[in-house]
Amino acid sequence: MITEKELQELAEFVSEGAPALSLYLDTDLTQQPKEKCKLVLRDLLDKVRDSASDKDLAQIERFFDLEYDWQARGVAIFSAAEQGFWRVYPLAAGIESEAHIGDRLYLKPLTHFLDHYDRYGVVLVDRESARFFLLHLGQIEEKSEWIGQDLKRHKQGGFAAARYQRHVDKQAEQNLKLAAEAATRFCQENRCKGVILGGAEETLARFREMLPKALQKQIIGTLVLDVTAPASEVMERATELIRSEENKRQQKLVEDLITAAAKGAGAVTGLADTFYVAHQGRAHILVVEKDFEADGYLCDGCQYVSAEPATKCPFCGGKLHKIHGAVNRVVQRVIEAGGKVETVTDNEALAKAGHIGAILRY
């Protein structure tokens, strides 16, 4: 599981001398045989063989022949053997297979993967207990379970039964309150981007009221699920909700971006303006189409990437030369500056606005 610190390290890495090799391979054996994965790998390495370092190629081939256990559904590898740089990140979900060569690592597919599989919490609750799950990078993990006081119904009727039932209801209320406190701690400790609640409708309505207002705002939906539901069912049902929520969130993000850019109020769209503000470190959120890439012009001095040719760099006066993969360069620049990258799929509005844009810090 890759951390933000590791992503920052990848973005800052520059290969000196021989170029670095960035490889993404779909190794999901539930969808294809291992032999096909190896054929795809061979084709990818053959395509970059003329440009890549022999040491990098040999190291990757050796890794898949002798070390890789083929348990993950995808893998990202970054290698610059001449500098002793080697990073492997098994991925819990499949990823599109591709290979890239350059002095900088190719991070666009990885940022898309991390953006698509953010951290979500699932809380299953009833009147006696609660279970807490974390969904991240295509995996589900049951992190903890909370058990309250057991509730038993009184079998006899009359006044005694009514009084006992009031006691049971009071204890159930206390159980839910304590479960809400445990849920709050769980979401804070695991830095959940959103929360899904599961249980009986009447229980969830009361439980939701007991959560802090800030956590209530993070709830993206509810599921009618028994607290004993298997993790596989929790994963399947929660993933549907998350995908729907992500689509809505990205639609709104693009709408806000385009509206703000049109008003000149803290956002820009299009290659030229986005490249410019990214170099200044002003891009708070870079919004880019998943498969969008473009050529650009790189300054030999300050590493500014321009969308258009120019006689000299507007920042340092240095010379510019044409490069491929300019969008990936800007992705790295934004990550280096502590910004966030949002990759968007099939958004017509963003395509019309130039396929890329940025919400600014200032």
CA pair distance 55, 82, nearest whole angstrom: 8
| Confidence band, pLDDT 50/70/90 cuts, at residue 138 | confident
**Across 251-255, average pLDDT:** 96
pLDDT for the residue numbered 160 = 53
Could you tell me which residue, 155 or 177, shows the higher pLDDT?
Answer: 177
Residues above pLDDT 90, as percent of the chain: 79
pLDDT for the residue numbered 3 = 80
**Across 281-309, average pLDDT:** 95
Which pLDDT tens digit goes with each residue over 49-74?
A: 999 999 999 999 999 999 999 999 99
Interacting residues of 140 by C-beta distance below 8 A, sequence separation 6+: 122, 133, 134, 231, 234, 235, 238
**Across 230-252, average pLDDT:** 92
- 180: nearest Cα among 214, 154, 150, 157: 214
| Confidence band, pLDDT 50/70/90 cuts, at residue 166 | low
The yes-or-no verdict on residue 25 having pLDDT over 90 is: yes
* Residue 230 one-letter amino acid: P
Which pLDDT tens digit goes with each residue over 184-197?
A: 999 999 999 999 99
Pairing of the two strands 20-26 and 74-80: antiparallel
Task: Spell 27-56 as b/e; 16+ CB within 10 A means b.
Answer: bbeeeeeeeebeebbeebbeebeeebbeeb
pLDDT for the residue numbered 49 = 95
Q: How many CA atoms lie within 13 A of 51 on its CB side?
A: 13
Contact 245, 347 (CB under 8 A): no
Residues above pLDDT 70, as percent of the chain: 94
The sign of the CA dihedral 167, 171, 172, 174 is positive
pLDDT for the residue numbered 100 = 96
CA pair distance 88, 50, nearest whole angstrom: 23
**Across 231-235, average pLDDT:** 94
| Confidence band, pLDDT 50/70/90 cuts, at residue 154 | very low
Please name each of the domains of the chain with its CATH number: 4-106 (3.30.960.10), 120-229 (3.30.420.60), 248-360 (3.30.1330.30)
CA pair distance 86, 20, nearest whole angstrom: 10
Could you tell me which residue, 144 or 288, shows the higher pLDDT?
Answer: 288
- Maximum Cα–Cα distance across the chain: 93
Which pLDDT tens digit goes with each residue over 312-357?
A: 999 999 999 999 999 999 999 999 999 999 999 889 999 999 999 9
- 3-class DSSP state of 88: strand
pLDDT for the residue numbered 162 = 58
Question: Comparing 14-23, 73-82, 138-147, 182-191, which segment has the lowest mean pLDDT?
Answer: 138-147
Interacting residues of 137 by C-beta distance below 8 A, sequence separation 6+: 1, 91, 92, 93, 113, 114, 117
Question: What Rg value do the Cα atoms of the chain yield, rounded?
Answer: 25
Cα angle at 200 between 197 and 203, to 5 degrees? 80
pLDDT for the residue numbered 94 = 86
Pairing of the two strands 283-289 and 340-344: parallel
Q: Residue 345 phi/psi, 5° resolution?
A: -115, 135
Q: What is the mean pLDDT of the chain?
A: 91
Structure tokens that stand for 261 in this block: 């850019």
Structure tokens that stand for 350 in this block: 């963003």
The yes-or-no verdict on residue 93 having pLDDT over 90 is: no
pLDDT for the residue numbered 150 = 64
| Confidence band, pLDDT 50/70/90 cuts, at residue 146 | confident
What is the end-to-end Cα distance of the chain in Å, rounded? 32
- 3-class DSSP state of 132: strand
Structure tokens that stand for 306 in this block: 């321009």
- 3-class DSSP state of 151: coil
| Per-position DSSP letters for 76-87, written without gaps between them | EEEEEGGGTEEE
Strand runs (DSSP E) across the chain, as ranges?
20-26, 74-80, 85-91, 98-102, 120-125, 129-136, 139-147, 194-199, 219-224, 267-269, 283-289, 296-299, 305-306, 320-323, 340-344, 356-360
- 215: nearest Cα among 240, 193, 243, 242: 193
Alpha-carbon separation of residue 198 from 117, 220, 238, 241 (angstroms): 20, 11, 9, 12
